[in-house]
Each structure stands twice: as structure tokens, then as C-alpha cells.
């Protein structure tokens, strides 16, 4: 979702580009359908680095990206977000002297138990150009000693993809026999939410606190599905009153689904942003967020898995007392042109690469 608008803008300007798919997300429902829905070209390189532990994925991406970069020697490698592939790709490029631009730089949760926090902090340290989605990200980077000339505020490119999908609604509500505003949507997949029996059961209990008050549609991420089976909790999940487990959805289907929901429950950073952009109430089932602007300016409420708090705040929302957020600066659907402007300036020499000998 973050690469697609950038890819379209690069193609529009006829800038030579190679697209590398690491394969970290290898399930067809979480990969192929997104390429189709977002109008992306087929990848030029497929690494097939999915599966295994985070260390195994990191190693596979490192080896694959190194080979891809050595064969093409690009002027710049663009990485996005905070997944394992982000850090591994940035590290491979830095070792080869290939400059790195990090889209969505500077976000911080301050929670070092999250793999994503490790990924984003280290990727930022390796990057020559840091492209930020919100003002707090710039302050975080300056506080960590990143030179101001390397930081460029571009806005939130996720919202570019959101606008793209909103303009292409699907018939998913009819297929699922849902009425607008008569249901909530859940997305849960982060390791901190699902990777131990205790945390997964707590997450299910928190979802039950929601589904007891409003029907809750839950497209189950492959990671979450695997953990439900591994921990013997699949039957329990299917017996929770009001909770409807369904297969993962394509991006356009999912945007249509949640954009018409009364509430979204998530542990995803991107969905915190998308709900804020659309003015939809959002519960974040984590104890912190690396996107505080969605709380201070948007519709997001960090509730963790506290069932009593969830029930109390949800009752307020269902009574029409939810807080009214606003769309943050730069979340206007035009971040990709600003990103490519910054990439072109960097390739023209502003700012200079960090590592001497870079191509």
C-alpha cells in the first residue's frame, strides 16, 4: 500500500525503476491480490524470503537484496515501513554503499519489545534520506541526532492508496450480507498480540467485549490463523458470540468493508492512520502507538486489551459520543508526488549520500 502510489508516480515521470518483492508476505491473499487491487506492475525481482523465524527472514532478505543490488547498482534504494524486509534491505544496501531512502521514517512507539520498533529505528540510522509522514516523526529523528537536511516531511503515502481504493468500491457488503454502520471490523496480526497463548487469549477476550455489543467481522490474517490452530484456540474463537471470522480480503474489499463500519478494532499502525483519515472510530489493542498523531488529532483510542475500558468506551461510541478527529497535515492523498520530488532532489545531489563511494 505504501509502494504502489510511489511506483505509479515514478512511472508517470518515466524514472527507471526496479521493483523487488522480498516475499516476506507470501500468502496469495496478502500479496498477489494487493498488486492487482493497487494497479502495481509485476515485480522485477522475486526473492521468496517468506516463512521461518524473523532471523531466517532477515538473513534471506539480506542475501537476496545484496545479489539484486550488486547486479543493478541503483542510484538509490527506497524502503518503506517497519517490517523485517525494511531493515534487512536497508542493511544490505548500506553495506554495499547504495544510498537508502526510508519512507515513513521517524515513527516511534518507545516499546522495544516490538520487532517493528527495532526495525524502524535501525532502518532510520542506515538511511541517507528520511521521508516523514507527520511532524512528530521529524522531532523524533532530530532528537536521535539525524541531520535536519536529511529529513523531509512528505505526508502519509498510505492515504494515497486509501483514496485510490475508496474510489473503487466493491460489493463486499452484499457478499457478506452486511448493512453500513451496523457492524465493526477487527484486524489483529502483530506478534505482540498473537504469538503466545496468553496474549492471543487476552486478544480474543478483548474482541469478545466488542462483539457482545456490535457484530464484529474479523478477516483473519494467516499469522493469526496459524497461532489459533497452534494454541488450540480456533474452536474458542468460533464460539465467541457476535464474532465472525472470515478469510483475508483484498485491499479494495477491505477498504470498502471498514470504510462503512461503525468502528474498527486493530493492532495495525496503518489502519490507525486510515481510520483517522476517514473519521472512523478506532480502538488500538496495544499499550502504545508509534502513530500518536492518530490519537492527538485523529479518531484513534489506545485501549490495550482492557475489557472493561473497551466496553465503556464502546458504549460511548454507540451512543454517538465518540471523539471527533481531524485529518492531519499532509494526509491529503498527494504524498507520492512529494516523495518522488525528494527522491529526484537526492539523486541530483541534495543532500549528499552518507557513505563515500556510493554510486
Which residue numbers are catalytic? 189
How many angstroms separate the most distant Cα atoms in the chain?
61
Q: Are 207 and 188 in contact, with CB atoms under 8 Å apart?
A: yes
Q: Strand, helix or coil at 326?
A: coil
Please state, in angstroms and rounded to a whole number, the distance separating the CA atoms of residues 13 and 30. 29
Distance CA 18, CA 353 (A): 20
CB count within 10 Å of CB 185 equals 26
**Contact assessment for residue 204 and residue 237, using Cβ atoms and an 8 Å cutoff:** yes
Burial of residue 245 (CB within 10 Å: 0-12, 13-18, 19+) is middle
Which strand (E) or helix (H) includes residue 101?
strand 100-103
Q: Give the end-to-end CA distance of the chain in Å, rounded to a whole number.
A: 28
Pairing of strands 300-302, 282-284: parallel
Q: What element of type H or E holds 131?
A: strand 129-132
Amino acid at each position: 500500500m505504501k509502494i504502489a502510489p510511489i511506483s505509479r508516480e515514478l512511472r508517470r515521470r518515466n524514472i527507471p525503476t526496479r521493483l523487488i518483492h522480498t516475499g516476506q508476505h507470501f500468502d496469495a491473499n496478502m500479496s498477489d491480490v494487493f498488486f492487482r487491487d493497487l494497479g502495481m506492475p509485476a515485480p522485477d525481482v522475486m526473492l521468496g524470503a517468506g516463512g521461518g523465524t524473523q532471523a531466517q527472514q532477515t538473513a534471506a532478505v539480506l542475501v537476496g537484496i545484496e545479489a539484486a543490488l550488486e547486479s543493478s547498482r541503483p542510484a538509490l534504494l527506497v524502503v518503506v515501513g517497519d517490517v523485517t524486509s525494511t531493515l534487512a534491505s536497508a542493511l544490505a544496501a548500506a553495506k554495499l554503499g547504495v544510498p537508502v531512502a526510508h519512507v515513513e521514517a521517524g515513527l516511534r512507539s518507545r516499546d522495544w519489545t516490538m520487532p517493528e520498533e527495532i526495525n524502524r529505528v535501525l532502518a532510520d540510522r542506515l538511511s541517507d534520506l528520511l521521508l516523514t509522514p507527520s511532524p512528530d516523526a521529524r522531532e523524533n529523528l532530530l532528537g536521535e541526532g539525524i541531520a535536519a537536511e536529511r529529513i523531509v516531511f512528505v505526508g502519509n503515502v498510505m492515504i494515497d492508496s486509501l483514496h485510490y481504493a475508496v474510489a473503487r468500491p466493491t460489493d463486499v457488503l452484499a457478499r457478506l450480507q452486511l448493512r453500513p454502520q451496523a457492524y465493526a471490523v477487527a484486524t489483529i496480526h502483530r506478534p505482540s498480540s498473537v504469538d503466545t497463548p496468553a496474549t492471543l487469549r487476552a486478544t480474543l477476550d478483548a474482541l469478545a467485549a466488542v462483539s457482545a455489543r456490535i457484530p464484529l467481522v474479523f478477516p483473519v490474517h494467516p499469522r493469526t490463523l496459524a497461532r489459533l490452530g497452534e494454541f488450540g484456540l480456533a474452536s474458542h474463537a468460533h464460539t465467541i458470540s457476535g464474532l465472525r471470522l472470515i478469510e483475508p480480503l483484498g485491499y479494495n474489499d477491505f477498504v470498502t468493508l471498514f470504510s462503512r463500519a461503525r468502528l474498527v478494532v486493530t493492532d495495525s499502525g496503518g489502519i490507525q492512520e486510515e481510520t483517522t483519515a476517514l473519521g472512523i472510530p478506532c480502538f488500538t489493542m496495544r499499550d502504545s502507538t508509534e502513530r500518536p498523531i492518530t490519537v492527538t488529532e485523529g479518531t484513534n483510542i489506545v485501549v490495550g486489551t482492557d475489557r472493561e475500558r473497551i466496553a465503556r468506551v464502546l458504549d460511548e461510541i454507540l451512543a454517538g459520543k465518540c471523539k471527533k478527529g481531524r485529518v492531519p497535515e499532509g494526509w491529503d492523498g498527494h504524498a507520492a508526488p512529494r516523495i518522488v520530488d525528494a527522491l529526484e532532489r537526492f539523486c541530483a545531489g541534495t543532500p549528499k549520500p552518507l557513505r563515500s563511494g556510493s554510486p
